[in-house]
Amino acid sequence: MLIELNKELKKSIELLREIGKEYLRPLGIEADRSSQAIPVDHPFYNLVAQTGFMARGIGSTFESGNSEKSTNGRSNNGNSVRNVLMAEEGSYWDRGTLVSLPGPGLGGPPVMQMGTSQQRERFMSIFKQRDKPLWAAFAMTEPEAGSDVAKINTRAIKSEKGWILNGEKMFSSNSSRAEWVVVFATIDPNLGRRGHRAFVVEKGTPGFDISRIEQKMGIKAYETASFKLADCVVDFDNLLGGESYYSSTSKSGFEGAMSTFNATRPIVAAMGVGIARAAYDIAKEFVLNEVPKNSSLRLRRYREKLQVMQAKLTHAKLLCLRAAWLLDCNKPNGFEASMAKLYAPPASLSVVTEASNIVGLENKDKSIYLQKLARDVKAIDIVEGTQQIQRRVVARNIIVN
Amino acid sequence: MDFSIDESIEELIAQVDKFSSKTLRHKARLFESNRSWDQNTLNTFTSLGISELNLPFHENGPSELLAYFIALEHLAKGDAGGLLYADTPGPYSWAISALLEHLPKNFFGDLSKSRFAAIYIKDIKDSSNKVLAWAPGSVDEWNGSLGSASTLIVFGNEYISYLDSHHLKFQQSALDALDASNGVEISWNSLLDSQTFKIDAISSYFIRTMMRQWVTAVMLGVSQASIDYAIDYGNERVVFNNTVTGHQANAFEIAKVYTEIEASRLAYRAAVSMIKNHSNSLDNYDLSQMINQNYIVAGEVSLSATDLSLQLLGGHGYLKDHFVEKWWREVRTLSILFGGLEQAHEDAGNEALNYHDFLVF
| Strand arrangement of the beta sheet that strand B151-155 belongs to | B116-120, B151-155, B159-164, B195-198
Q: Read off the pLDDT band of B46 (50, 70, 90).
A: confident
DSSP β-ladder status, B169-172 and B116-120: unpaired
Q: What is the DSSP letter of B101?
A: T
Q: What is the helix (H) or strand (E) element at residue B47, kind and residue range?
A: helix B39-48
Q: Read off the pLDDT band of B61 (50, 70, 90).
A: very low
Residue intervals of chain A classified under CATH 1.20.140.10 are: 255-398
Which residues of chain A from 1 to 20 reach within 8 Å of chain B, CB to CB?
1-5, 9-10, 13
DSSP β-ladder status, A155-158 and A163-173: antiparallel
pLDDT for res A72 = 38
The residue among B170, B198, B226 that closes a domain is B198
**B207 plus B342 within the same structural domain:** yes
Asked if A44 and A28 touch (Cβ cutoff 8 Å), the reply is no
Residues in chain B within 8 Å Cβ distance of A4: 1, 277, 279-282
Residues in chain A within 8 Å Cβ distance of B351: 307
Q: How far is B141 from chain A (nearest CA, A)?
A: 39
What percent of chain B lies above the pLDDT cut of 70? Answer: 84
**B212 plus B311 within the same structural domain:** yes
| Other CB atoms within 10 Å distance of the CB of residue B283 | 8
pLDDT tens-digit map of B271-329 = 887 776 554 333 334 677 788 889 999 999 999 999 999 999 999 999 999 999 999 99
Select from B51, B337, B359 the least CA-distant residue to B216.
B337
Burial class of B321 by CB neighbour count within 10 A (0 to 12, 13 to 18, 19+) = exposed
- For the cut 60, the answer to whether the pLDDT of residue B159 exceeds it is yes
DSSP B295-336: HHHHHHHHHHHHHHHHHHHGGGGGSTTSSHHHHHHHHHHHTT
The phi and psi torsions of B353 (rounded to 5 degrees) equal -90, -10
**B56 plus B130 within the same structural domain:** no
ipTM over 0.90: no
Whole-angstrom distance, CA of residue B323 vs CA of residue B179: 13
Interface check for B349 against chain A (CB to CB < 8 A): the answer is: yes
Select from A61, A10, A54 the least CA-distant residue to A327.
A61
B235 and A388 in contact by Cβ < 8 A? no
Asked if CATH classification 3.40.190.10 holds for the domain at A136-247, the reply, yes or no, is no
Question: Which of A307, A329, A395 shows the shortest C-beta gap to B349?
Answer: A307
Does B74 map to a domain? Answer: yes
**Interior CA angle at A303 toward A218 and B260, to 5°?**
65
A321 and B294 in contact by Cβ < 8 A? no
**B240 plus B111 within the same structural domain:** no
**B112 plus B17 within the same structural domain:** no
**B233 plus B306 within the same structural domain:** yes
pLDDT for res B148 = 56
Minimum mean pLDDT range among A275-279, B54-58, B74-78, B293-297: B54-58
Q: What is the DSSP letter of B36?
A: S
Does B46 map to a domain? Answer: yes
The phi and psi torsions of A355 (rounded to 5 degrees) equal -60, -40
**B139 plus B171 within the same structural domain:** yes
Best A307, A331, A333, A386 member to test B by mutation, with max B CBs in 10 Å, is A307
Whole-angstrom distance, CA of residue A260 vs CA of residue B36: 56
Select from A174, A170, A156, A166 the least CA-distant residue to A211.
A170
Residues in chain B within 8 Å Cβ distance of A317: 359
pLDDT for res B191 = 63
Best A281, A296, A314 member to test B by mutation, with max B CBs in 10 Å, is A314
Residue intervals of chain A classified under CATH 2.40.110.10 are: 136-247
State chain B's mean pLDDT as an integer.
Answer: 81
Intervals of chain A under pLDDT 70: 1-3, 56-77, 248-253, 401
Asked if B284 and A4 touch (Cβ cutoff 8 Å), the reply is no
A391 and B255 in contact by Cβ < 8 A? yes
State which CATH number among 1.20.1730, 1.20.140, 1.10.540, 3.40.1350 fits the domain covering A7-102. 1.10.540
DSSP A278-292: HHHHHHHHHHHHHS-
Residues in chain B within 8 Å Cβ distance of A312: 297
C-beta contacts of B30-38 below 8 A and 24+ residues apart: B31/B81, B31/B82, B31/B179, B31/B180, B31/B182, B32/B179, B32/B180, B35/B182, B36/B182, B37/B82, B37/B85, B37/B86, B37/B180, B37/B182
Beta bridge partners of A156: A165
Whole-angstrom distance, CA of residue A380 vs CA of residue A124: 27
What is the average per-residue pLDDT within B172-197? Answer: 77
**B248 plus B320 within the same structural domain:** yes
The CATH number of the domain where B342 resides is what? Answer: 1.20.140.10
Residues in chain A within 8 Å Cβ distance of B345: 304, 307
A319 and B1 in contact by Cβ < 8 A? no
**B328 plus B272 within the same structural domain:** yes
Residues in chain B within 8 Å Cβ distance of A314: 267, 290, 293, 358-359
Q: What is the DSSP letter of A37?
A: P
B231 and A13 in contact by Cβ < 8 A? no
Query: Would residue A384 show up in a list of annotated catalytic residues for this protein?
Result: yes
pLDDT for res A399 = 93
Select from A261, A400, A265 the least CA-distant residue to A340.
A265
Does B2 map to a domain? Answer: no
Whole-angstrom distance, CA of residue A154 vs CA of residue A170: 12
Whole-angstrom distance, CA of residue A165 vs CA of residue A185: 8
Residue intervals of chain A classified under CATH 1.10.540 are: 7-102
Beta bridge partners of B242: B239
CATH H-level superfamily of A255-398:
Butyryl-CoA Dehydrogenase, subunit A, domain 3 (1.20.140.10)
**B212 plus B108 within the same structural domain:** no
Which residues of chain A from 119 to 158 reach within 8 Å of chain B, CB to CB?
none
All residues at 6 or more sequence positions from B274 whose CB lies less than 8 Å from its CB, including other chains? A3, B282, B285, B287, B290
Asked if A58 and A98 touch (Cβ cutoff 8 Å), the reply is yes
**B129 plus B259 within the same structural domain:** no
Select from B63, B73, B74, B78 the least CA-distant residue to B14.
B74
Q: Which of A142, A336, A354, A384 is catalytic?
A: A384
All residues at 6 or more sequence positions from B87 whose CB lies less than 8 Å from its CB, including other chains? B45, B50, B51, B54, B72, B75
Burial class of A7 by CB neighbour count within 10 A (0 to 12, 13 to 18, 19+) = exposed
pLDDT for res B344 = 84
Whole-angstrom distance, CA of residue A107 vs CA of residue A94: 21
Asked if A364 and A259 touch (Cβ cutoff 8 Å), the reply is no
Q: What Cα–Cα distance (Å) separates residue B242 from each residue in A167, A394, B64, B234, B248?
A: 37, 19, 46, 10, 10
Select from A77, A81, A83, A78 the least CA-distant residue to A59.
A83
Interface check for A400 against chain B (CB to CB < 8 A): the answer is: yes
The phi and psi torsions of A363 (rounded to 5 degrees) equal -125, 105
For B277, the closest chain A residue by CA position comes to A2
Q: How far is B257 from chain A (nearest CA, A)?
A: 10
Interchain CB contacts (distance < 8 Å): A and B? 159
The residue among B174, B198, B222 that closes a domain is B198
pLDDT for res B285 = 45
pLDDT for res B280 = 37
Q: What is the helix (H) or strand (E) element at residue B132, kind and residue range?
A: strand B131-135
Three-state DSSP at A379 gives helix
All residues at 6 or more sequence positions from B59 whose CB lies less than 8 Å from its CB, including other chains? none
pLDDT tens-digit map of B225-267 = 999 999 999 999 999 999 999 999 999 999 999 999 999 999 9
| Other CB atoms within 10 Å distance of the CB of residue B323 | 23
| Other CB atoms within 10 Å distance of the CB of residue A258 | 17
pLDDT for res B134 = 79
Interface check for A401 against chain B (CB to CB < 8 A): the answer is: yes
Select from B59, B71, B53 the least CA-distant residue to B10.
B71
**B300 plus B347 within the same structural domain:** yes
| Other CB atoms within 10 Å distance of the CB of residue B165 | 21
What is the average per-residue pLDDT within B141-167? Answer: 76
pLDDT for res B59 = 42
Q: Express the helix, strand and coil content of chain B in percent, nearest 5 each.
A: 65, 10, 25
Interface check for A178 against chain B (CB to CB < 8 A): the answer is: no
Q: How far is B349 from chain A (nearest CA, A)?
A: 5
**Boundaries of domain holding B26:** 7-91
Q: What Cα–Cα distance (Å) separates residue A311 from each residue in A244, A357, B103, B199, B291?
A: 48, 18, 37, 29, 10
Does B360 map to a domain? Answer: no
Interface check for B273 against chain A (CB to CB < 8 A): the answer is: yes
Q: Read off the pLDDT band of B193 (50, 70, 90).
A: low
Number of domains in chain B: 3
DSSP β-ladder status, A163-173 and A224-234: antiparallel
Select from B31, B5, B78, B67 the least CA-distant residue to B228.
B78
